[in-house]
Structure 1
Amino acid sequence: MMRNIKSFALLFLVLLFPCVSRAVAPSFDFGPFFSVEKSIEGYKRLRVLGPFFEKQTAEDGSEFFATRPLFCSVKNGEDGRVVRNILWPLGWTSESEDRDNWRMFPFGGWSPKDKEADGWRFMGFPLIYAGETREGDGYFAFFPIGGVLKGLLFRDRISFVLFPLYMYMSINDVESWDVLWPFISWTKGDGVKRFRVFPFYGMSEREDRWKKQFIMWPIWSAAKYSFPGGVGRSHILFPIYGHALMEDQETWWVVPPFFRWTKGDKRNVVNCPWPLIQYASGDLKKFYIFPLLGRKSIENLQTAFFLWPIVTWEKTQRRTADRERLMVFPIYYNEKVTAKDSEKDVLSRYTKVWPLVSYRREGDVNRVWAPDLWPGKHKPSIDRNFSPLWTLYSRVESGDAVDHELLWGLFKKRKGTDGSKYLSLFPLFSAAADGQESKKWSFLFGLLGYEREKLQKTYRLLYFPIRVGGTK
């Protein structure tokens, strides 16, 4: 009985292994059900049940693990940072050398590895907030009943009671009080003064910069500017007219904001009426017939549109690279990044014809995915958690190496940089070749098969090997 079990197990292993290891052939290939292989990009990969379970490891220590769409984990081999997604976008964690962050909507928080160097924070949006600052000061708030917050919303301290009944905020030496927010408020600090009883009256003053006020907002508003290069005055009587006189420009509004004329040293602007007709010259070049067509250029940014938001174009010039994007919403997206002042030296490219196919080039690696159901440009979180679930065909090219895959591994075709090849149509047929010395093909996992290693040839008939020739 035991001998029969061992014989059956041996036969089962023979059935499972369609080929011996080759440069591009998987170490273990059972189609979409189970595979162990080394990708043409150099990392080891284990997959079970197509896209649902995947594990990758790289020589630099980088790791990836996913049980889609429930969970995935990514480890950066350089700095050791680990990012996990749990039912993304609901859950997320991040572990680094100095801090742990987490979010499980509506809860979230962070805590440092060194409790004495930094504080910790907990949030149960929108009700509960608690934490401790790096100075050791604790805080707690239960919204909207009351409490204290520290280091949140760009403020040093926020305290409130029965919000919006009462609230206090401070940042540096500037303090603000609100009663029945946002209607009644006053602020004082070093060179700063503000007061508001909305919408009846309000004023804001910053020493040596400006003084602004409104009466029965938005009917009357006025401002006086005193900062260097921007001295002047402005006022608007809404919705009748407005006027601004600065040291370098003058602006008139009629029925603001619809009709505007600005004449300045650096820029001239005409809106007649806004937003339908917009024109500007000088440091800003702009012409809009909205939403039919338009073009704008300022410093390192150029944009254009046709039948907005259907067709939009943008070119951004950066210090080391230029980026150009074209989108025909929602079916087409193209982005190209080139070296500075060089149209030929393409650093990366991304093209998508939604929802049919997408193409991505980064360095010397090209990828094709079909279909690609995520609209717009790809996002790493989508690629990790969802894209493999709907990708029926993929193609990866790195130098002379090419990897084709259809239906999560039902069909595979590979070519290595050394000339090795692998072809598989699960469960019918597989073939592998490593140059001229090693070749193998198998029909139904060895029902019929052939293998050659140098001078030795092996035939398979009804899963039994028949060896012919000399030694390996």
Structure 2
Amino acid sequence: MSERYLLYGGIMIPLIRQVLADFRCRSAGLIVCAGLATLTLPGTLNARMPTRVEDQTPREYWQFLFLYESTSAPGQEEYIWHPFYGQYTNAEKAYEYRHSFYPLYYGHGTNYWHKWSVLYFLTGEDKYHADTKEDSDLFLSPLFHIGSGDDSDEDYYSFFPFYGTMKAKFGWDELNYTLWPLYMNWSGKNYKAHSILWPLIMWGGGGRRSDFRILPLYSKKEHRGKYVRRTFLWPFFQWSSEALDKKDPRSMFFFFPVYGRKSSDSGSMAANTILWFPFLGGLFGWGHDDTRNAAEFNALFFIYQYASYDDPTIRKHILFPFYGYYRFGAALEKEELAAEESTGPEFDYDKTRREASPYYKSAEFITPLYVNLKTNSILVESDYHVLIPFYWDMERYHRRERQYEHYNKLWPLYAWIKDDSGRREFRSLVLWPMRSDQFERSWGTLWSLFEWNVYANGDQYIATLWRLYSRYWNQDEEHHFLIGFEYHHAPDYWSVEFLGGLLGYRHDVPHARNALQEPGSTLKLLWFDI
């Protein structure tokens, strides 16, 4: 939001941004200041890729105590050695997901891409293009970074902080450094910059842009026709002219930390702050923007904050640490109109209303252990209630997949999941305080006292006391597991086994689902049929 210069943003952020803009990554400012020490977290699973057997097709299930389980269905297969290793494959999506001692290691990918991570510290990414070209990245944060492509000029390596090159990172085409921060340079499109003892000395330019700084003495950052930003004896004296290509340009002056002001030439916008400090904000701050019907005020640094905007709609009211509310999104009137047109609760199954709902995000906290987060976007609608760290209630509706999910957790007693595919999951105990379905699937059998699952195809599963006894069944089949003993009964066979086939007996009978099967009996000894 460009107008967040009011108060906090308008006074100090332009100065911080002057340094951070070298990497076009304001949100990664702390990482950049650490000297490219980026912790590259793998992204979310593309298009909500599954990590377990799903849909309503028939399944085959087998387990051995709390150590091993496998599930297979047409086109899908999963097996887990708890917690050592697990793998899921989906032939239809050409997708594979693997994990070992999760979150120590996990990897996933398709025929076109593959990502993996070791404790989010060592990461890798491969991309496979239609023309058979391949791009690869290997990142050991923050020391090593190796990348390769089909062409030799796409290869690079980085051994931070001694010497290296990075390509297509931090928003730049190429970045080079030697004994960082002693020297570095970066380029993108028609812009190129150099720095000595970054961020103290820097110069660069290209096109209509030019940058120069020798901190703390003087700095200037200019985009001709758009903005000019200067500092003298940084951070004490800072001033700038912004939005020079707009109808109502703006100017800023800041004498750190005593007083700062930003205002438009017409006077329709103004922001002021007194005694402003990083991370704390201003002792007092106030501002307005008439073009957006906006007003903002803060007192005692971040203790009290108030803001109201109409374009976009923003509401903020915080009395830290007792209460806080923040909302960003479409006009409140649109949200209220959508609610009036609804015939049910917020998380009903009226998908037509969901698709028409306005965009917004909101956050509310009390004490601050209680938190409520809401999102309504083109991809997801969600409503989270959290009492840190004990209680979690999370509802989500994924618009693209048209899937609804409800997660409820009272740590460490239980966790409960249900969705509109018919899936239900209940587990007790749950030792991980936050939500991590994959962590519980990998480790949960080691401390689980009771489990109950209903799958999308109607199959059910129940287990007690670290899976010493468990039962998997549906309308046609029964499977029982008791401390190494197994009993299976299906329309085309029944069997009894010990330790997965060390000793066992199976009797087959003719049935329509296996027309080629002949009737007969089989003994099993040392896992061999005799």
Q: Which TM-score tier does this pair reach, normalised by the shorter chain?
A: 0.7 to 0.9
Instruction: Quickly say closer, same or farther: Cα 1:278–1:112, change in 2 above 3 A.
Output: closer
CA distance in 1, matches of 2:208, 2:86: 51
> Partner of 1:391: helix, strand, or coil?
coil
Return the letter of the residue paired with 1:367.
E
Give the 5 Å matches for 1:56-135.
Answer: 56-59=71-74, 61-104=75-118, 107-113=122-128, 117-135=133-151
What's the CA shift string for 1:180-228, capped at 9, x where partnerless? 1221111212222112222332221123321112222222211211243
Counterpart of 1:161 in structure 2: which amino acid? T
Residue matched to 2:468: 410
Q: Find the counterpart in structure 2 of residue 250 from structure 1.
A: 270
Question: For the structure 1 residues 384 and 275, does the alpha-carbon distance in structure 2 shift closer, same or farther, using more than 3 Å as the test?
Answer: same
Q: Which residue of 2 aligns with 1:214?
A: 231
**Aligned match for 1:285, one of 297, 303, 315:** 315
Contact 2:306 2:316 in 1 (8 A): yes
Moved over 6 A (4+): 38-41, 427-435, 438-441
Aligned partners of 1:431 and 1:440 also within 8 Å: yes
Aligned counterpart in structure 2 of residue 303 of structure 1, from 355, 363, 376: 363
* 1:134 Cα deviation from its structure 2 partner: 4.5
Per the normalisation by structure 2, the TM-score is 0.66
What are the Cα deviations for residues 67-116 of structure 1, in whole angstroms up to 9, with x where unaligned? Answer: 22222222133321222223433433334213444445765444455686
Tell me, yes or no, if structure 1 residue 357 matches structure 2 residue 428. no
| Residue among 376, 381, 387 paired with 1:317 | 376
Q: Equivalent residue for 1:336? A: 395
Q: Distance in 2 between matches of 1:198 and 1:427?
A: 71
Measured in 1, the distance between the counterparts of 2:316 and 2:140 equals: 46
| Aligned counterpart, 2:68 | 53
1:4-46 CA-to-partner distances (Å, cap 9, x unmatched) read xxxxxxxxxxxxxxxxxxxxxxxxxxxxxxxxxx999743222
Cα contact 1:119–1:135 (8 A) shared by 2: no
**CA distance in structure 2 between the partners assigned to 1:148 and 1:292 by the alignment:** 48
Paired amino acid for 2:317: F
Match for 2:219 among 202, 208, 211? 202
The SS at the match of 1:385 is: helix
Change (3 A) 1:150 1:298: closer
Q: Are 1:240 and 2:261 counterparts?
A: no
Q: Which amino acid aligns with 1:143?
A: F
Counting matched residue pairs gives 395
Is 1:367 aligned to residue 425 of structure 2? yes
- What is aligned with 1:395? 452
Q: Residue 286 of structure 2 aligns with which residue?
A: 261
d(CA) in 1 for partners of 2:123, 2:364: 40
The code of the aligned residue for 2:309 comes to G
5+ residue gaps, structure 2: 1-53, 277-281, 330-359, 497-508, 510-530
Q: Structure 2 vs 1, CA of residues 255 and 103 (structure 1 numbering), >3 Å: closer, same or farther?
A: closer
- The root-mean-square deviation of aligned C-alpha atoms, in Å, is 3.6
**Cα separation, 2, equivalents of 1:322 and 1:191:** 42
| 1:271 aligns to 2:298 (yes or no) | yes
Deviation at 1:175, TM superposition (A): 0.8
For residues 174 and 91 of structure 1, the distance between their equivalents in structure 2, rounded to whole angstroms, comes to 39
Q: What secondary structure is seen at the aligned counterpart in 2 of 1:301?
A: strand
User: Structure 1 regions of 5+ residues with no counterpart?
Assistant: 1-37, 442-452, 454-472
More strand, by proportion:
1
Give aligned-pair identity as a percent. 20
Structure 1 length normalisation: TM-score?
0.73
Measured in 2, the distance between the counterparts of 1:304 and 1:182 equals 37
Bigger Rg over Cα: 1
Tell me the residue number matched to 1:32. none
User: Residues 313, 427 of structure 1: CA spacing in aligned structure 2 closer, same or farther, 3 A cutoff?
Assistant: closer
Which range moved further: 395-404 or 144-153? 395-404
Instruction: Compare 202-211 and 299-308 and name the one that shifted more.
Output: 202-211
Amino acid in the other structure paired with 1:294: G
Change (3 A) 1:64 1:434: closer
Structure 1 pair 259/379, CA: closer, same or farther in 2 (3 Å)?
farther
Distance 1:40 1:408 in 2: 27
- 1:104 & 1:70 partners in 2: Cα distance? 14
